[in-house]
Amino acid sequence: MGKRRRDLSRTEWGIMRICWEKGQSTARAVYDETLKEKKRSYQAVKTMLDRLVKKGYLERTKLGPIWLYKATVSRARVVAREIEEFAGSVLDNTVAPLLIHLGRKEKVSPGEIEALKKLIREKEDQMTDGDS
């Protein structure tokens, strides 16, 4: 992400999740999806979509009388940036406390465990290669 995008509110994260899942969507489709979580007005959702366009997270294209919204950045990139900012500002650029905390949660999937093992093996290999 070249330019710095402004932070997302909890509600904006929800809107972005919907946009990432749908790929490209109308404001009405996003609104309908948000109703599964919380009752809000169509205009409130439309305002949030337009705010996300201004923040650089979404782009919109006019198709006849409707606007289509599409994410300009992948979910993985935004999540990675948020984690890096959190690690830098809260954890003094250390990740062990975060990994330990997340590892202690009750529901850790076998896939997550395997990904963590792989990461540890890669880090150990890097340390071993550095000693040569």
Structure tokens at 115: 């990904």
| Spans of the chain, pLDDT less than 50 | 1-2
Longest dimension (CA), the chain: 64
pLDDT at 29: 95
pTM above threshold 0.85: no
Residue 71's alpha-carbon distances to 28, 34, 80, in angstroms, are: 16, 17, 16
Predicted confidence at residue 92, as pLDDT, reads 86
Fold category of 10-71 in CATH? Arc Repressor Mutant, subunit A (1.10.10)
pLDDT score, position 4 = 55
**What is the token pair recorded at 66?**
């409707």
**pLDDT for 69:** 97
Q: Tell me what pLDDT residue 14 has.
A: 94
* Structural tokens at position 107: 């529901």
